[in-house]
Amino acid sequence: MATEVLVPTLGESITEATLGEWLKQPGDTVAADEPIASLETDKVSIEVPSPVAGTMGEHAVKVGDTVEVGGMLATIDAGGAAPKQASAPQPAVTEIPTSGGGPADGAGYGDQPGASSTDSAAADGPAALSPSVRRAVLEHGVDPATIKGSGRDGRITKEDVVAAAQKPAPAPAAAAAAPTAAAPASTGDRKEERVRMTRLRQTIARRLKEAQNTAALLTTFNDVDMNAVIAARTKYKELFEKKHGVRLGFMGFFVKAACMALKDIPNVNASIDGDDIVYHDYADISVAVSSPGGLVVPVIRDADQMSVAEVEKTIGDFGRRAKSGELKMDEMKGGTFTISNGGVFGSLMSTPIINPPQSAVLGLHRIEDRAVVIDGQVVVRPMMYLALSYDHRLIDGREAVTFLVALKNAIEDPTRILIDL
């Protein structure tokens, strides 16, 4: 008896998602609660577990299709594994061409007119490649036709691609005899891949463009001497980790310093709603973290009421769960102010874009030693550029500068954070 796998509830106000990847193919053995597919919503990726143990049946939808909550994704046949049927549908993926001359993704290459040679090669070549394997093939520049798959039914895995890329290139073959007819010039090993934007990336693109079209964006800069914070971190990091079970980073200091500055300059923590200005007597700080699908922005609720240790624990938890795709949608709703740390990637300076309906975002950058003048003496200090992008409709330049100065003072003298000065 077949059991239907339905699209689960995705969260408040979210009624549809995109099928990102099939994790199980027809005929595969499936355990109860084992993930069989990955769904992409506007904010996160969600794995769909199997409701029963059995054998994967037919896929009801293809990769890239939009599905609604309650809709059927596939069926699970109860009992032991059954042999795969030749007619079982496969994910919407195609082989990567081994030479230039066409696109190389699951957007319909094999269905284009004149693609019979590619189709023929696919029939004798490796099994259809999953999205992760296709990305690895393009990244390492290897020919999938030369790779012997170690996966189920000879499928090529990502590890197979990496191993093939690490092998030394074979010696060039001896030159063939001159052809009787002139052959067209080789186009080289030029490849392209057309990949549909994930729902998360589409949402990011739409919201960033809306921010540019709606807000009067302006960015002001300052720099901050990180010497005092670095000294405090060096002195107390071992005791801090031993007591709180988390490493002492820089974000805890910046979140607390930002909360203090937001109280002094409430417009930076406010938002525009129609013709009204909404002020918040709390600080919900959005922190930008990387995930496999792009940048996500979970929210530290009531960060102004937290200690530095509580902030660091929350950020560390967000980072771990963002990488594993376990962040909940409710954790990314709201927020009154955003901090984005491009410094972890080596950014020297940037102009970040606000996260509507918020009115400001703080950009942190890399720390580097620079010569500065202190008390008439040229000295070397670990300096960081700060950038505050803000909606000029609500925040005046004087307020933006005052906010950054208050933040700078707190970071350069961390005692101010302890005594709320």
Residues belonging to the active site:
392, 396
Considering only CA atoms, which of 284, 364, 292, 283 is closest in space to residue 327?
Answer: 292
Kindly provide the residue ranges of all beta strands, DSSP E only, lying in 288-353, ordered along the sequence.
289-291, 294-296, 299-300, 337-341
Q: Are 46 and 100 in contact (CB under 8 A)?
A: no
Considering only CA atoms, which of 288, 252, 328, 326 is closest in space to residue 244?
Answer: 252
Q: Are 17 and 38 in contact (CB under 8 A)?
A: no
Q: Are 37 and 21 in contact (CB under 8 A)?
A: yes
Considering only CA atoms, which of 104, 105, 19, 43 is closest in space to residue 326?
Answer: 43
Q: Are 380 and 230 in contact (CB under 8 A)?
A: no
Q: Are 36 and 56 in contact (CB under 8 A)?
A: yes
270/360 Cα distance (integer angstroms):
9
Considering only CA atoms, which of 333, 335, 351 is closest in space to residue 215?
Answer: 351
319/312 Cα distance (integer angstroms):
11
Considering only CA atoms, which of 392, 412, 20, 394 is closest in space to residue 200?
Answer: 20
- Calculate the alpha carbon distances from 253 to 2, 295, 342, 418 in Å: 55, 22, 16, 10
Q: Which two tokens stand for residue 208?
A: 């960033």
DSSP letter (8 states) at residue 8: P
Q: Are 337 and 347 in contact (CB under 8 A)?
A: no
Buried b (16+ CB within 10 A) or exposed e, 305-340: ebebbbbbbbbeebbebbeebebebebbbebbbbbb
352's CB contacts (< 8 A; 6+ apart) are 219, 338, 340, 342, 361, 362, 363, 387, 389
